[in-house]
Structure 1
Amino acid sequence: MTLKSLIAKPFSITALVISFALLISGVLDLWLGSSIAVLMILQLAVVVIALQCSPGWAYLSAVFEAVCFNFFLTNPRFSLQMLNVDDIVNLCVFLIVAIITSKLAEYYRQQQNQLKQAQLRNSILLSVSHDLRTPLATIIGTLSTLEEYMDKLSKAEKAELFDSAIVESNRLYQYIENLLQATKLQHGAVVLKKDEHSLVHIIHLVIERFSKQTDRIILDAQSDLPSVQMSSSLIQQAIFNVIDNALRYSPYDKNVNINIYRSSEHLIVDIKDEGVGITKEQSEHIFDLFYSASSPKRNDSGTGLGLAVSKGIISAHQGTMQAVPVDSGSLIRIQLPMVNGGQHLVL
């Protein structure tokens, strides 16, 4: 992430909160003439900034607000001199309380982060204990059968067992990839190496990975689509998860339709299935980590990781991903900016 983007957001929050606090303080000073009320408003602003930004921004805002209080709201006005002892004492107390509350806010944020990490570790542990065991058990059982009955099995039976082991191996690999990316996303450690790629070509590569279900995937792409700056491997993973999810929740005899087109500033990918659809309540949670809808699906249903990981990857590219209401089935819409923006990191 660039230094500019790291500074821009907290600076904007700090500037907005301070401006609003100073405006309210000015009104209170004219209305009540109470320095205590003014300092309470300014103190509240410091707390808000401390909760939203790093402690450094809170300390900086406290000093800036103290100078503004001295210059604009104490006698003599528009001067850095302070003649009233009460104002001097109040201002000193304000600075002390601002530092203490900033420290408390930092501690609170650290505790919240630790709680989230603990919840993530518990969720991952529960997921791993279940979702790794199933494909591993199938692979072990298949290979054990091959080892024991190799001479008694027909060529077609051997091929079927090998295919089953390969399918479960790919399923296991995809789960581990999603698990790794989910962990990185939760820790803010996903980094991008962007190059110029054709989104249509990337989706063709993804479709090829569904070797036995390519006939169920219908691709319709607008002509003359521009290339996009993106991390090819991560975008492939994001789109693979969405298509895989659509195939899992759709009947075997129904297709998954992919439509690629452009708007004024974005390339848009619509992935639509003909399954049971997504309710309004589900649409608010399907991108949550480890969320799994209760809709009817096959025994090889997902782990609740795929869509969460996809949304995280798309967001890292400054794109958006959402469930769009449709009359039948489900529609997941991905939008990627055509301009060269987003994170500029190395993977």
Structure 2
Amino acid sequence: VADVDRAKLEAEADRLRSALLTSISHDLKTPLAAIMGAAGTLREFAPALPEADRADLLSTVLDESERLNRFIANLLDMTKIESGAMEPNYGFHYVGDIVGTALHRARKIIGEHKTEMDIPTDLPMLRVDPVLFEQALFNLLDNAAKYAPPASTIRLQGWADNGSVIVQVMDEGPGIPPADLERIFDTFHRVRKGDQVRAGTGLGLSICRGFIEAMGGTISAANRTDRSGAVFTIRMPVPANQHVNDPDMDDLP
């Protein structure tokens, strides 16, 4: 039995390594090619290019560098999660502040979309790692911007429910195919869509789940019932010394 279990673990490790190599060779090559192309054009033809064209090429270098940095950060985060090295730095935080920070950080990615935020100011504070929670929200915003059409609305809303705080990220894209609902948080799994979807490593949602679960919460995916689109729901427990309907935080340690 031990040998069979060991063989299964080795096979899974081989599968993940193969998926990782495929992801790196295919997805990381895209921003690298754009960076090299823009930088090469600037090196060879910068004096002859109009100022607007030079600015566009520099913007391409910066944007693709940021995308490449996100890919690498996701790979490192996934390594930490799977190795069990993730240690949340807990503190008491208001979820609306973290949502606002995530929106600001993702402003370039969601720039072609409308955003709505409905987070009540009287929600109880949560004991979370703000960096991990913000990264989970950032990945959800990145996912929404990737699959929802430009000019559509990305909505973030929150409320208190039965000893928990709920945060939802909703988009107006095509939704999640039923066959993908159970696998959407799997490592390297990506919902297939047309060529207009930006490249990605297929790690963003898996990292969301890893971070949220590391902080004692849960995350789930579903399709909207009011219109086309996906909805991701994060449920975080309220610390035991708080009451969901009591916004008084004076007794917090």
Fold shared per TM-score above 0.5: yes
Q: Do structure 1's residue 159 and structure 2's residue 55 form an aligned pair?
A: yes
The aligned amino acid for 1:170 is E
> Is 2:233 the partner of 1:333?
yes
Question: Aligned partner of 2:90: which letter?
Answer: K
Q: Distance in 1 between matches of 2:120 and 2:177?
A: 30
Q: Give the unaligned 5+ runs of structure 2.
A: 242-253
1:231 aligns with 2:129: yes
Flag structure 1 segments of 5+ consecutive residues without an equivalent.
Answer: 1-104, 342-347
Q: Any idea what SS the aligned residue of 1:229 has? A: strand
Among candidates 250, 253, 256, match of residue 151 of structure 2: 253
Amino acid of the structure 2 residue aligned with 1:198:
Y
Query: Does 2:86 match 1:190?
Result: yes
Aligned residue in 1 for 2:202: 304
Task: Map 1:49-128; keep pairs closer than 5 Å.
Answer: 105-128=1-24
C-alpha RMSD of the superposition: 1.9
**1:128 aligns to what SS in structure 2?**
helix
Counterpart Cα distance in 2 of 1:160 and 1:267 = 43
Q: Distance in 2 between matches of 1:155 and 1:162?
A: 11
Cα gap change, 1:335/1:240 in structure 2, threshold over 3 Å: closer, same or farther?
A: same
Q: CA–CA distance in 1 between the matches of 2:156 and 2:177?
A: 21
Q: Output the amino acid matched with 1:128.
A: I
What is the deviation of 1:248?
A: 0.7
Q: Which has the larger radius of gyration?
A: 1
Read off the aligned partner of 1:282 and give its amino acid letter. Answer: D
Q: Which amino acid aligns with 2:209?
A: K
Structure 1 counterpart SS, 2:48 = coil
Which digits, 9 at most, give the CA deviation of each residue in 1:27-69, with x for residues without a partner? Answer: xxxxxxxxxxxxxxxxxxxxxxxxxxxxxxxxxxxxxxxxxxx
Residue correspondence of structure 1 range 163-174 to structure 2 within 5 A? 163-174=59-70
Q: Which amino acid aligns with 1:169?
A: S
Q: Percent of aligned positions with the same letter in both sequences?
A: 33
Greater relative contact order (Cα < 8 A, sep 6+): 2
1:203 to 2:103 alignment: no
Equivalent pairs counted in the alignment come to 237
The structure with the largest strand share of the pair is: 2
Alignment of 1:131-146 (within 5 A): 131-146=27-42
TM-score by length of 1: 0.64
Alpha carbons of structure 1 residues 201 and 224: separation in structure 2 relative to 1, 3 Å:
same
**CA distance in structure 1 between the partners assigned to 2:9 and 2:93 by the alignment:** 36
